[in-house]
Amino acid sequence: MARANQIRQLYAMCATALVMGRADLDGADDVGFDIELPIFTVGQAAELAGIHPQTLRQYDRLNLVRPQRTDGGARRYCLRDIARLARAQRLSQDEGINLSGIARILSLEEENRQLRREIKRMQSSGGESVFAAGRDGNIVEVQRSNRARLWRNAIRRETRELPGRPAFPSSRADKGARAAEESPYNDDSKSMVLWGW
């Protein structure tokens, strides 16, 4: 129980740093915080973000900040939600932006954050990237393994003989007669095919 309280205190300190602008979600994620962990109640989230609890409920109804729900239906906020709440409050109070504008700004900022993390992950992988089409049609990165690379190299070097086409006679009569007698793939000439790509 004491460990759970310590974890809650660490998350509360991280949330406070996010609200004050001394930390960001990328940094919190990098040092090991689970930014999706639903840990804060409505009252705690309101206190941390400096927002009235009724405003939190309004933001939830408007899909501005959607907290997770417990089995009993109670709202639980994560670090990402706290950061969004604080940002929404600043945009509303300081900049005078309406709620639909705030929703769009928050959506774009989250998309931008996800793209930055994806770029950082791709740059830190240190190797070549392979991309494929996912089931939904989106482009996805496929992790390369040495085993797959060795297999592809072996396939590229492997050759296989296939029967070649015979040289057809020049006249149509001879061509028709010969085609009836034998398959075009029965001669001794061979073609070489390189498997792979």
Is the pLDDT assigned to residue 98 strictly greater than 50?
yes
Binning pLDDT at 50, 70 and 90, where does residue 104 land?
very high
Question: What average pLDDT does range 31-50 have in this prediction?
Answer: 89
Q: What is the pLDDT of residue 66?
A: 87
| Domain 1-127 annotated CATH 3.40.640.10 | no
Go through 98-117 and write b for each residue having 16 or more CB atoms within 10 A of its CB, e for each that does not. Answer: eeeebbeebeeeeeebeeee
Query: For the chain, what are the domain ranges?
Result: 1-127, 130-155
- Residue pLDDT, tens place only, 164-189: 555 555 555 555 555 555 544 444 44
pTM of whole model > 0.95? Answer: no
